[in-house]
Chain A
Amino acid sequence: MQRFILIAVPYAWLLALFLVPFVIVFKISLSDIALAIPPYTPTLKDGFAAFVAGLDFENFAFLASDDLYWKAYLSSLQIAILSTFMTLCVGYPIAYAMARAPEEWRPTLMMLVILPFWTSFLIRVYAWIGILSSEGFLNQFLLWTGIINDPLTILNTNAAVYIGIVYTYLPFMILPIYAALDRLDGSLIEAAEDLGCSRLQAFWLVTIPLSRNGIIAGCFLVFIPALGEFVIPSLLGGSETLMIGKVLWEEFFNNRDWPVASAVAVILLLILIVPIVLFQRNQQRQAEEET
């Protein structure tokens, strides 16, 4: 009995916070737009038979008929993949340096990585507007040093979106890699060097493979939220930044078309399920290896 209750808790959690909202969104995606409160039809007020009869897959057919949507999905995928890669390139050396730092420094370094979370995410993204704008700190500094003569246009371009995503999600990349590197047995590297590896070879053949799980976990933790990101592209991006989060917002707010917006969200979820399942598998395998 106790065991049953223990298992029931996470399942109830999943049911209430994942499955029920998803069913609601899925239902709206099968509805039609209406000028009413709420702005779609049918609702349960119409009676159950009419409710079921009023549902169809029209909105999904509509998504397929317009190239805007798949272009937005592709462009979001591109931005998410590239920014994940960049975050990895920036995050790995930081995690490596942290793991190699003297034992007594590590809690402080860890603290410094987590510290930005104490400020609201929104305010930190807003701060980048002040840094990147054409009259912002970065341009003022570069003009002052004489490196450039005309201010760079960074804000309101895709470059600013990449900077925003890499900055925001960097801790999610550093922490799992650091955890993996921290557990790394230093004697393995010594053994590799004794057996004739150069330092670079030892890093490539021993350190990287042994921190693989951290790299994978970090990449997923960055990739998944970056794909549906809305705040960063809308604040830092320009008119050419096409991301599915923005398209979703437009369907919902500008078109008042909740059914099509819901259909876009359902497809986004389907796209995300692939990496999430891969991530789960990796976690499972890791757990098995450890036991």
Chain B
Amino acid sequence: MKKFLMSTAVIALAATAAGADTVRVYNWSDYIDEDLLAKFEAETGLELIYDVFDSNEVLETKMLAGGSGYDVVVPSGTFLQRQITAGAFQKLDMSQLPNIENMWDVVSSRTEQYDPGNEYSINYMWGTTGIGVNVPKVQEILGTDAPIQSWDLVFKPENMEKLAECGVHFLDAPAEMIPAALNYLGADPDSHDPDVIATAEPLFMAIRPHIQKFHSSEYINALANGDICVAVGWSGDILQARDRAAEADNGVEIAYHAPNEGAQMWFDQMAIPADAPNPAGAHVFLNFIMDAQNMAQASNYVYYANGNAASKEFLVEDVIGDTAIYPDEATLENLFTTTPYPAKVQRVVTRMWTKIKSGT
């Protein structure tokens, strides 16, 4: 939220300083190697204003309000699809994007379900939604056979009851948490049937007293500092927490798993708003990002897989060799994707989520 409020202030400033030499990018928090931003300015001579957000909802509200003032934004797949329908984005001009040939067909073919023909967006990063654990602490509480590779860890009340003392955070993202619960229950994770969705409610109600907070970015620091011991979160965020803890050498040891029962695979796509002040600059930025070395530098820094085939040779072994980031064939089969909820179902989902979070 701090970032959200700060970025609001930044937009106000940006609006007064707008010009054709400026590119305004709105990306997720902790999602790029900041050296790349300086490199972009040095290489292109364009001034870059880089703001961050931590939830798709915040971005979507800005897009639907119109006049966001941004040239490049990064919604996830389902949100992208809905915003394309609302007319929020402009088609990419492929002639300005020679680096598009670097993209990886394995990812592009999957993002087509959100953006047919990939006409409006390019893939930035993709990953999974799974569980991060502070291994020594969890093993101290649940024993060495703690099910850290299974959704049982967070969906079984008897485990959560014990874990509550060291702190558990869940993502505040119903579009990811509810599919995870449905999948755990053996239902179709992408179900849009309110009756099926309702079956997830008792599962959450049983564990909600033991969840300290629903939040989509605080868990990175909280995990790294040892304030909490379990977080349901996004793969790269938890791997960043792992590295921050290792750097701080504070005795916290974090591991990430896309649970055995299956996990959601999501895609963050870069797109250009229909009313972008500087679409030419936006294309320059997209092309810069699709450069194999630049993309590799970003992935090496944030520990997320990208959709760029040419970047693979520049990835460090820690990233390309880690199945938590680039899953092997067996894990890939267990991953599922989802599609956006229609407005009526969305209300049912949000209402249920509010009930889960607040108990009413």
- Measuring CB to CB, which residues of chain A are less than 8 angstroms from any residue of chain B? 33, 35-39, 66-68, 71-72, 122, 126, 133-135, 153, 156, 231, 234-235, 238-242, 247, 250, 252-257
Contacts and interface: CB of A to CB of B under 8 A. Distances in A.
Closest 5 pairs between A and B when the two form their complex, measured CB to CB? A253-B57, A39-B64, A37-B66, A242-B358, A255-B350
B88 interface: yes
Contacts of B1: 231, 234-235
Contacts of B113: none
Interface string B50-65: 0000010110110111
A239 B61 contact: no
Interface string B1-26: 11001100000000000000000000
Given A39-B65, A238-B213, A239-B211, 4 more contacts: A68-B354, A126-B2, A133-B225, A256-B60
Interface stretch (B79-87, B154-162, B176-184, B296-304): B79-87
- Chain B interface, >50% SS class: helix
A154 to B, nearest CB: 11
A36 B88 CA distance: 8
A37 B65 contact: yes
Given A37-B87, A134-B227, A68 B57 contact: no
A233 to B, nearest CB: 10
B354 A33 contact: no
27 contacts: A35-B343, A36-B86, A36-B87, A37-B87, A38-B66, A39-B65, A66-B351, A67-B360, A68-B351, A68-B358, A122-B5, A126-B2, A133-B222, A135-B225, A135-B226, A153-B167, A156-B212, A231-B1, A234-B1, A238-B212, A238-B213, A239-B358, A242-B360, A250-B354, A253-B57, A254-B174, A256-B346
A33 B86 CA distance: 12
Contacts of B212: 153, 156, 238-239
Contacts of A126: 2
B52 to A, nearest CB: 15
B53 to A, nearest CB: 11
A68 B360 contact: yes
Contacts of A239: 208, 211-214, 357-359
Contact of A252 (B61, B174, B208, B225): B61
Given A68-B354, A235-B1, A33 B65 contact: no
B91 interface: no
Q: How large is the interface on B (under 10, 10 to 19, 20 to 34, 35 or more residues)?
A: 35 or more
Nearest to B356: A239
A145 B9 CA distance: 42
B347 A255 contact: yes
A39 B85 CA distance: 12
Given A37-B87, A135-B225, A253 B2 contact: no
Contact of B227 (A33, A66, A133, A231): A133
Nearest to A71: B360
A253 B347 contact: no
B341 to A, nearest CB: 11
A247 B357 CA distance: 11
Nearest to A247: B354
B82 A254 contact: no
Contacts of B85: 35
Contacts of B285: none
B231 to A, nearest CB: 13
A234 B358 CA distance: 13
Contacts of B174: 254
A253 B351 contact: no
A240 B359 contact: yes
Interface in B270-292: none
A170 B357 CA distance: 30
A253 B79 CA distance: 12
Nearest to A129: B218
Interface in B126-182: 167, 174
User: In this complex, which of A133, A134, A254 has the most chain B Cβ atoms within 10 angstroms of its Cβ?
Assistant: A254
Contacts of A247: 354
A254 B2 contact: no
Contacts of B211: 239
Nearest to B225: A135
Nearest to A126: B2
A150 to B, nearest CB: 8
Given A68-B360, A254-B57, A134 B167 contact: yes
Interface string B201-221: 000000010011110000000
User: In this complex, which of A37, A126, A234, A240 has the most chain B Cβ atoms within 10 angstroms of its Cβ?
Assistant: A37
A29 B240 CA distance: 42
A247 B88 CA distance: 26
A95 to B, nearest CB: 31
B210 to A, nearest CB: 10
B214 A257 contact: no
A156 B228 CA distance: 12
Contacts of B353: 254
B354 A253 contact: no
Given A67-B360, A122-B2, A254-B57, A37 B351 contact: no
A72 B351 CA distance: 13
B355 interface: yes
Contacts of A234: 1
B275 to A, nearest CB: 9
A256 B64 contact: yes
A234 B213 CA distance: 10
